[in-house]
Structure 1
Amino acid sequence: MDTMPKKLLIIGLVWPESNSSAAGSRMMQLVRLFLDHGMQIVFGSAAQQGEFSDWLELPGLTTRQLQLNDSSFDDFVTAYNPDMVLFDRFVSEEQFGWRVAAQCPDALRVLDTEDLHCLRLARQHAVKQQRMFTEDDLFSDTAKREISAILRCDLSLIISEYEMKILTEVFKIDPALLFYLPFLQDLRKGDLFKTWPAYEQRSGFMFIGNFYHEPNKDAVRYLKEQVWPQIRVKMPEAVISIYGAYVPAMIQQMHQPDSGFLIMGRVASAEAAIKSAKVMLAPLRFGAGLKGKLLEAMLYGTPTVTTSVGAEGMQHECLWNGLVADDNPEQIANAAVQLYNDTLLWTAAQSQGAFILAAKFDRALYESRFINHISLVISGIKKHRRNNFIGSVLSYNAFLATKYLSRWIEEKNKSNYQ
């Protein structure tokens, strides 16, 4: 029997913006992979499309505007009858998972976690309290929601090996419910590295990131207040350009040309901006998952200085596309100056980035195994779900609790429009 899913429904928390965020890029990587394997895809979201949302009218792909707490979704999903449903982040599973389970019980339910929200928020909480993150910080209400969603699904895609370890060793999740799937970069063209500008053709430092994302706001504030002044002492003419979508006023106010700190905002081409810089600075103090900016730096031949949080899950054989510095702002500043001025170190870092890309993020490393694993889980779905009885209990309770709350909200909304 052919168990390869033919009809896929993706429920996005938001409409992907691959030019604005790593999450958007990740989603479009998955979309292209599924399309390449002949799947018919409907991408739906209850969010409103934005000015910079990706163009999703591709062959084999259609879109659907979804409504929260509305039985119209039940009619739609029943009529479409997908073989597989992919939830974009655990919140989407909370909103629609019980409806999918009720209307399409045979559909494979897959969660793309993007990153472990409970890890990111726990680290953020520790930074705000000016203390070290500990394992105890993980056990939050967010973790209870996120782990519940993972258990309710048949399979969860985990982007970081470190997060695989947390889920299996700290939260004791059955590895059969998880699949490690990092960024999927198509390296088959082989000419990527030939387009890199040389060391002598580049100048300046840079940072890039979506400023809806709290780790990016914190990193730029930390960079401006504590790291950059020390760099300027050692390099008085140094300039850093800060790029990114949705820059808030607090970041815009940091624009100070006299001190070489330039807030550039959204950029038409992230590739051009990254390639023009000599070094990317990403002093991330908290976060989770994989950092899209650091992957792009490898793709475009730009060495980086980051923290252990930034490099987490991205190093290979202890190698990095630059330097990892953690202890204090002075150490980060020293690493930045050293990497910027040492041609041999810079060139070696660039080569290590190319090695990491090929060894860890080439789509060809994962594609066949991932598609085959989906077919394998589908072919044994009854046993797979029986082995995850706790997930069935959580699904049952979530169905009862969410169903009646959602129905109440739906009726309330109807009365408001009458």
Structure 2
Amino acid sequence: MKPRLPIDGLAARFSILLAAALIAANAIAAALLYADRARQDSAARFEREVERIVSLVPAIEAAPAERRIRAARAASTRLTRVSVDPVPRVAAGPTGRRAAALTRALQDALGDREVRAALVVRHHKDGPHGGEAVALSIRLDGDANGLQWLNTVSRGDHRGPPGIPSGVLLLVLGVSLVSVLGVALVLIRRLTRPLNALADAARAAGQGDRRVRVPEAGPRELRDAAAAFNEMQARIARFDAERMRTLAAVGHDLRTPITSLRIRAELLDEEDAAPMIQTLDEMTVMADGLVHYARGAGDGEEPVQVDLAAFLVRLCEERGAILTAAEAVHVQARPVALGRAFGNIIDNAIRYGGAARVRLERARDAVQVTVEDGGPGIPEERLSDVLEPFVRGEESRSGETGGAGLGLSIARNIIASHGGEIRLDNRPEGGLRVTISLPAAKMT
């Protein structure tokens, strides 16, 4: 059996799946927003750069030759260095798509001037502002004593409009995740509650409880499942009741002809009558067994809370069994039916093992009753068979050595109808051990 994982439940798996989907969706949305913001910032820087250069070139050209260097120095900022030089700093021809776009935009705005643009990757060792920079070389008109090129280098860390702080973004993400998960958990709890009730009812039905029903509530699919389960329970209960009535009727109706035959047999000679009477006695045992088997479930009896320790004390005193230990525990049971089940088991132990030792103890939410004897036990290959109807440890149907082979079968049916189970084992030191487990009653 594989160990259960902490996320084995439907609610846990749904929550983790929903959380993963929400985190992935928000992460993708945040990435797209960041990319769009970067694109918009880049476009804005591009436009500002074009506007600034377009306005700067005529101003530099209008200045006298000796003032062009000072004008360029005055136009420099913390992020852009402007100079007027005799040679261009950018090699001929644009490099890259963005550089080509910047070149075309400047040429359209400045006329026929020669414009060279390039994107330069600056490393941190070049200064505190590493990253991408835009280098421009524009040929100036007019005589400027050899100073015919306007060179600009704009660092790539221009700041655009302030965006959403990362802390606020994480807070929004967290609030969104908690809100959606909260709503989802409420819904999934409402969804799984009927499923849990159906599972509990199915377990009880599997243990023989034909009265358990499931509330027909919740979504349509769950209502349909609950209705189908309730209908199945009702049909099985009707079938069981009809089967038991049939068995009881057969057992009861057999008594009359058996009694008539016995009276006739007793009129014969003793030598001829003895084998017939023995056969009729065995048939009587079988007929009585059928009646007891049919009545074994005790369907007409209402369950009550039973002090199992006091209950076993009385049974052991009546039958001469030995109660070795008994904790104070309670079970929800039908007392007459439960007394028949324990009585059959104790009687078998005394009949085949000479004595019965009974022990009662509690194990977590269950109650465990053990009945041991010192008899010959049962062959291992027949341990499971003896719980079936009309199966005995020895083949005789004599009332002196046994019955019809229904005692343990009756006990098993009664225990199963109480939500418990019976297990048979041979003791290493000899004899049979019968272990009965029942659910303990919840104390209010």
| Range into which the TM-score falls when normalised by the shorter chain | under 0.3
Instruction: Choose between structure 1 and 2 for higher RCO, CA contacts under 8 A separated by at least 6 residues.
Output: 1
TM-score normalised over the length of structure 2: 0.21
TM-score normalised over the length of structure 1: 0.22
